[in-house]
Amino acid sequence: MKDKLKFLYKTLAFLVLLGLILYPVQKVMARKSLSGAWDMTNKVAGFYNEAENQFQVMFFGPSHAYDAFNPLVIWEETGIKSYVFATQQQPLWATYTYIKEALKRQSPSLIVVECRMAWGEKEYYLGEDDIGVTFSYMDDLPLSWNKIELARQSAPDLENRLSTLFNFMMYHGRWNDLHREDFTFDRSQARDPYKGFVMLSPREEPQPRPDVEGIEGTAPLLEKNQYWLEEIIKLCRREGVELWLLKTPSNLEPEEKPLLNTVKATAERYGVPFHDFNGDYADIGLNENMFYDAHHLDALGADKFSRYFSNAMAAARPNLKADPDDPAWAADLENYKTAMEELVVIP
């Protein structure tokens, strides 16, 4: 028995020592997105450096959330502070974890989930063409039990779970791609002045809107997606936070509409507010020239949508607390306006 305990202690000591050695190496080797519109490391890691309990509204979901909701515009219109805690193709099991992580630091009155990934087609994103999806939502989360549980949901076996949890396994071959910021970047100093919003440049190609009028039927979601959609609803209910499920303007395809109808039906079954903003283009002022690509708003489209959304939200929820006199937010808003003037002229 003593020999077994001795072996166990030695094994634990070795693992702790190995972790202490690999942890700083992993921080250097991990991919970092720090510049340009897609500075997702600043957006995700930066959330943890925001003042606690300042956001009345939190947005979650995939790229359709971070390209559409602009917290600075929402604040300008209403004085309500918010943050977009979204990642590329964020599956619903990751959204669930991101909500739990957010609630550790913030006490929002309203959680908004952009529901595009409710009809994602995969149970795991680990193939050569989509493994980046998994690491985009795993890399910048600090180690916690939430992250460990997310790794369990993100992979079917121990080897892949460890790989998603300890990304040294993914990035150990980056030696030739390392840059100065890999060594100097300090996550405790990360900050995103756009509060999670991604400003996408306008494109010249118009993006016609598919006709989905009259499509009333439903189609089943992937079982895993249906489960986590309902778990998100239950989590918000347990935490006493209002949940709003919605679809941002994204030129919805005909094959998507029955799946979105299933999300709507699920929301109705649980008594959760739901809205599809693809039916509001005229009221928002959107046209086919305000899209970055077929399904994502550009900066001008996001500006128009955020103003429309913020006023609709404030009108329907007058009890949301406003904080309109923050000088730091005012400075970030002015920088955003300058960037918009350089990017596109707002009519």
Say which CATH number the domain at 235 has: 3.40.50.1110
pTM of the full predicted structure? 0.89
Side chain identity at 276, as an amino acid letter? D
Q: Percent of the chain having pLDDT more than 90?
A: 71
What percent of the chain lies above the pLDDT cut of 70? 82
Q: Given pLDDT bands bounded at 50, 70 and 90, which one contains residue 308?
A: very high
**Residue 29 located in a structural domain:** no
Overall domain count for the chain: 1
Give every CB contact of residue 320 below 8 A, 6+ residues apart in sequence.
56, 57, 78, 80, 109, 110, 313, 314
- Whether 28 is covered by a domain: the verdict is no
**pLDDT tens per residue across span 165-203:** 876 555 444 445 555 554 556 677 779 999 999 999 988
d(CA 337, CA 179): 31
In-domain check, residue 280: yes
Within-domain flag for 55: yes
| Sheet with 57-61: strands ordered across | 82-86, 57-61, 110-114, 242-247, 274-276
Report the run of H or E that residue 301 belongs to, with start and end. helix 299-316
Q: Is residue 17 part of a domain?
A: no
Please report whether residue 20 resides in a domain. no
Q: Is residue 114 part of a domain?
A: yes
What does the block give as tokens for 325? 């006199």
Q: Is residue 15 part of a domain?
A: no
Q: Express each pLDDT in 113-141 by its tens digit.
A: 999 999 999 999 999 888 889 989 998 89
State the residue range of the domain holding 231: 36-343
- pLDDT per residue over 40-72, tens digit each? 888 999 999 999 999 999 999 999 999 999 999
**Residue 34: per-residue pLDDT:** 45
- List the structure tokens of 58: 């939190």
